Each structure stands twice: as structure tokens, then as C-alpha cells.
């Protein structure tokens, strides 16, 4: 029996599970896992995880902590730790998206999240701090990387964001393939397949640029809309994939072709770019899709962080009334 597409993919690309549901993670044996506020909110509301949520709430109650932000950070790390008990590699935990334009508060939040992991016995080498790829987020990454805190730059929609992240020495970037596609489908009123997919083209361009100029920053394609996009990016350093597509590829026996490779990247035609803050802001402003999707993504994640905080505040209130 031939191996599945998922098994073949793992030969060329590190597969990362994109979920806060660690029962599903066990099923697909990924190397790493990523979470975000939306995924944690969804998992926290799932009755399966009530014991974990209640354990965090009980611990906070016993210590006299009633601050929902503090409880939320504990919950994020508790989910992360539960994932680290399953995956051999790293987990990504996101800094509050409401801090996307605040360097100092983002630095403080990232350091406190890492301190929580270390207190629970998990070294910083196993945690990626997720930051929105705003100029401020990239500056936070520049500082954290010097402290040995590795960063996953998320909400990345443009080549210029990717260049700035590489210049800052970020550990990893997460270009959002599917959200780029969404924008073009809506704007142009047509579908895109295979190598014509604008999200696929964006990741291919970034991958080739990084490899041509020997940037160590890892490229982790994210936010897929179909397995066709995944198949077009075989060879990318990593891909973070939701359970639905992991299952689809697990049951798919078709052939798989490597699409991205270092040799071809080295031969690609690029000029090396320097990226100042003024360059970054102007080029992002010129890129309507990237500007729109970055702002939309921050709004959505901020909203879900606020929802998670309210959910926990309600739980705290009801537990203190008992």
C-alpha cells in the first residue's frame, strides 16, 4: 500500500498542527503546533477541555487572582504545555493582538509568557512567541531574538513584511496563503488554481528570496483554503495545517511533487533589499491587499482575545460565587 500524501509531505516539509485541540494533535503526529486566540477560544468553550479550564481557574482562585488577563495568560500557557507533552518540537503562543502597535508592552508580555513556560519546566527553545508582522511587532522580534526568545511572525501578507522579518533575525514567518487568495477572489471575482494561486505565488517568492540570500528565518506557510495549495508548496520549510486538511491528506494516496527547492531558489532573480521603517510603511501602504488583511487580522484576533477574556471573567465570577 502506497503512503499517504501526509506521509509524503512530511518527507519534504515539517508539518505543524494548526489547532488548540490537543486530542486531534495526537492523531496526526506533527512536529510542532501553533495556536492563536481564535483557536484557544474555540478550545476553551469545548466541554472536552473544561477540566483544563477549571484547573486554571481553581489555581487562580486559590492564589486570590481575579484579573482575567492574568488568568488568560495562564490558560494560554496551560494549553501550550499540554501540546508540548504531545509534540516533539515547538508550540507557538501569541502575544495579545491588542498590543500589535506597542513595543514595550509586547516585550513585557512575551517575556512573561516565556517565564511562565520556564517555571513549568519548558525551556524557551520549545516556545515560539507569535507576533503580528507590524513594524512594531518586527522590532519586538528583533529584541527578543537577541534574548534567545524565538518569534513566529504572523499575519504576514506581503513580501516586504517578509524582508523586514528576515532583516530583524526573526526565527520564523507565517505567510497566510488562504487569506491572500480570499482577497483576490473577492476583488477579481474569479477562482485561482495551482501555481496561479496568489497566496502560493507569495510564499514561493518569499521562500526563493530567503534561500537566495541565505536568511536563516524559516518559512511556515499557513491559512490554507484547500489541499491544492499545500501540494503547490511542497518543500517549504514548514506548513501549519488545520485538522480538516490533515485528515484529507491522510486519506489521499496520490503522488506528490516537490515544488520549492534551494537549488532553484539560488538561481532566482532578485535584488537584495534593505528595509527601513519608512520603506516598510510606504511599501505596505502601497500594497492594498496586505494593508487590508493585516488590519482585518489584528481586528479579528483582538476581538477573540477580548471574547476569551470575557469568557474567563464570567467563569471567575461564577466560581467565586460558589
Q: Rounded to an integer, what distance in angstroms lies between the CA atom of residue 47 and that of residue 117?
A: 25
Other Cβ atoms less than 10 A from the Cβ of 105: the count is 15
Using CA atoms of 235, 240, 242, 248 in order, give the dihedral in degrees to the nearest 10. Answer: 10
Q: Rounded to an integer, what distance in angstroms lies between the CA atom of residue 33 and that of residue 24?
A: 11
Characterise 51 by phi-psi region: left (phi > 0), alpha (psi -120 to 50), beta (else): alpha
Asked if residues 84 and 122 have their Cβ atoms less than 8 Å apart, the reply is: yes
- If you write DSSP's letter for every residue of 61-110 in order, what string do you get? HHTT---HHHHHHHHHHHHHHHHHTT-SS-EEEE--GGGTT-HHHHHHHH
- For residue 96, what are the CA distances in angstroms to 75, 108, 131, 303? 13, 11, 8, 10
Residue 130 annotated in active site: yes
Number of H helices, E strands in the chain: 15, 8
Asked if residues 302 and 98 have their Cβ atoms less than 8 Å apart, the reply is: yes
Q: Rounded to an integer, what distance in angstroms lies between the CA atom of residue 89 and that of residue 252?
A: 25
From first CA to last CA, the distance across the chain in angstroms is 57
Q: Rounded to an integer, what distance in angstroms lies between the CA atom of residue 229 and that of residue 79?
A: 29
> Active-site residue among 130, 211, 259, 293?
130
**List of residues 6+ apart from 73 with CB closer than 8 A:** 109, 112, 113, 116
Asked if residues 133 and 173 have their Cβ atoms less than 8 Å apart, the reply is: yes
The interaxial angle of helices 135-146 and 277-286, nearest 10 deg, is 140
Name the residues annotated as catalytic: 130
Amino acid at each position: 500500500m502506497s503512503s499517504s500524501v501526509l506521509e509524503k509531505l512530511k518527507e519534504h516539509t515539517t508539518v505543524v498542527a494548526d489547532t488548540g485541540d490537543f486530542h486531534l494533535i495526537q492523531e496526526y503526529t506533527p512536529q510542532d503546533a501553533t495556536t492563536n486566540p481564535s483557536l484557544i477560544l474555540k478550545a476553551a468553550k469545548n466541554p472536552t477541555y473544561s477540566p483544563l479550564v477549571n484547573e486554571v481557574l481553581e489555581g487562580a482562585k486559590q492564589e486570590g487572582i481575579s484579573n482575567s488577563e492574568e488568568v488568560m495568560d495562564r490558560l494560554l500557557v496551560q494549553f501550550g504545555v499540554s501540546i508540548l507533552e504531545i509534540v516533539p518540537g515547538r508550540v507557538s503562543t501569541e502575544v495579545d493582538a491588542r498590543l500589535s502597535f506597542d513595543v514595550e508592552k509586547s516585550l513585557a508580555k512575551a517575556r512573561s509568557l516565556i517565564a511562565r513556560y520556564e517555571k513549568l519546566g519548558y525551556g524557551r527553545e520549545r516556545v515560539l512567541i507569535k507576533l503580528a508582522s507590524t513594524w512594531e511587532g518586527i522590532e519586538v522580534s528583533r529584541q527578543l531574538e537577541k534574548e534567545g526568545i524565538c518569534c513566529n511572525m504572523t499575519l504576514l501578507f506581503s513580501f516586504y513584511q517578509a524582508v523586514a522579518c528576515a532583516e530583524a533575525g526573526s526565527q520564523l514567518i507565517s505567510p497566510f496563503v488562504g487569506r491572500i487568495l480570499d482577497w483576490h477572489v473577492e476583488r477579481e471575482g474569479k477562482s485561482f488554481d495551482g501555481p496561479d494561486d496568489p497566496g502560493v505565488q507569495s510564499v514561493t517568492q518569499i521562500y526563493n528570496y530567503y534561500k537566495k540570500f541565505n536568511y536563516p528565518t524559516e518559512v511556515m506557510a499557513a491559512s490554507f483554503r484547500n489541499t491544492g495549495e499545500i501540494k503547490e508548496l511542497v518543500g517549504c520549510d514548514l506548513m501549519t495545517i488545520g485538522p480538516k486538511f490533515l485528515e484529507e491528506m491522510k486519506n489521499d494516496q496520490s503522488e506528490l511533487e516537490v515544488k520549492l527547492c534551494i537549488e532553484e531558489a539560488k538561481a532566482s532573480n532578485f535584488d537584495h533589499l534593505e528595509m527601513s521603517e519608512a520603506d516598510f510603511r510606504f511599501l505596505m501602504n502601497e500594497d492594498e491587499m496586505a494593508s487590508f488583511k493585516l488590519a482585518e487580522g489584528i481586528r479579528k484576533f483582538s476581538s477573540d482575545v477580548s471574547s476569551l477574556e470575557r469568557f474567563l471573567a464570567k467563569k471567575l465570577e461564577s466560581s467565586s460565587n460558589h
